[in-house]
Amino acid sequence: MKIGFIGLGIMGKPMAKNLIKAGYQLVVCDLVQSAVDELVALGAEAAANGKEVASKCNVIITMLPNSPHVKTVVLGEGGIIEGAKAGSVVIDMSSIAPLASREIYAALEEKGIDMLDAPVSGGEPKAIDGTLSVMVGGKKEVFDIYYDIMKSMAASVVYVGEIGAGNTAKLCNQIIVALNIAAVSEAFILAKKAGVDPELVYQAIRGGLAGSTVMDAKVPMMLDRNFKPGFKIDLHIKDLSNVLETSHGVGVPLPLTSQVMEIMQAIKLDGCGVEDHASILKYYEKIANTILER
């Protein structure tokens, strides 16, 4: 089966490679020519835009930064909607606002094109391993048809409800990750300034109730002072903007999320927007006048 794949960045490139490994033929597109060339070298076909991708494939996956990029690629000039046949499906795996997913779905539905919103969690290492977690919104019968394609990039693919539900689940995920990184930063700066070896604190507590996937992924990075992304602060700010827009829309105050959002805004001003979100630590280092090192 031929699958279109648009957006070959940190996440999209390894996800596309896993589809090739699973035996699918790919038609790929990105603004960055070197990323396209890398996939063509593995047997993929290149296309100029969404329209051309959609004219060659009935299944089109998008993995783009945010809502405006997905709207442009799907609904804009030269977009997927211009080339797609009725009965095709767009599987948008980007993390975007649930409202945007619903708007794009409605425009595609008028042309008889299906859509799933299927954002992922797990970051670059799990995109490479093919062990992502995928949370999917859309029609259940459409989910069932395309489950195997999504599963070839993931350890878990879970149906969470109607269109937009996938991105709502992803926003919940991003709240928990952001608050968890802030909590870990706060705690380990205390250990350091109180004169207790943070590495030993990590070994002592990681197996208990405070332990988490975030702690295991981010504390070693923090102790190594490795802030190479991974997941950029700029993208997490994008997600928390979508979180706050959505939460205010449905009437849910999020006091802790808004505080961590302001922490991210502060470190972005210090030039950390393109660093990994582990650099939330740097805010705590600044206010405590202490550097976390081994």
> Contact positions toward ligand NAD, by CB under 6 A?
6-12, 29-32, 35, 63-65, 69, 72-73, 94-95, 120-121, 123-124, 230-231, 235
Please pick, among 17, 126, 170, 268, the residue that the annotation labels catalytic. 170
Please name the residue that has the structure tokens 């070839």: 152
- Nearest distance from residue 25's CB to ligand NAD, in Å? 19
Q: Residue 128 corresponds to which tokens in the numbers above?
A: 């490479």
DSSP 58: S
Is 2 an annotated catalytic residue? no
Looking at beta carbons only, is 1 or 31 nearer to ligand NAD? 31
| Angle of CA points 132, 136, 139, to nearest 5° | 150
- Close Cβ partners of 66 (under 8 Å, ≥ 6 residues apart): 94, 95, 96, 238, 242
| Cβ proximity to ligand NAD, 62 vs 185, nearer residue | 62
* Closer residue to ligand NAD in complex, CB, 235/240: 235
CB of 287 to ligand NAD, least distance (A): 27
Please say which residue, 14 or 198, places its beta carbon nearer to ligand NAD.
14
Q: Which residue is nearest to ligand NAD (CB)?
A: 9
Stated length of the chain: 294
Which one, 8 or 181, has the nearer CB to ligand NAD?
8
Q: What does DSSP assign to residue 279? A: G
Q: Closest separation between CB of residue 141 and ligand NAD, Å? A: 26
Distance, CA of 257 to CA of 190 (rounded, Å): 21
Give least dist CB 30 to ligand NAD, A: 4
CB of 123 to ligand NAD, least distance (A): 4
**E-state strands within the chain:** 2-6, 25-29, 45-46, 59-62, 89-92, 114-117, 120-121, 132-137, 154-161
Residue written as tokens 């961590």? 260
Enumerate the active-site residues: 170
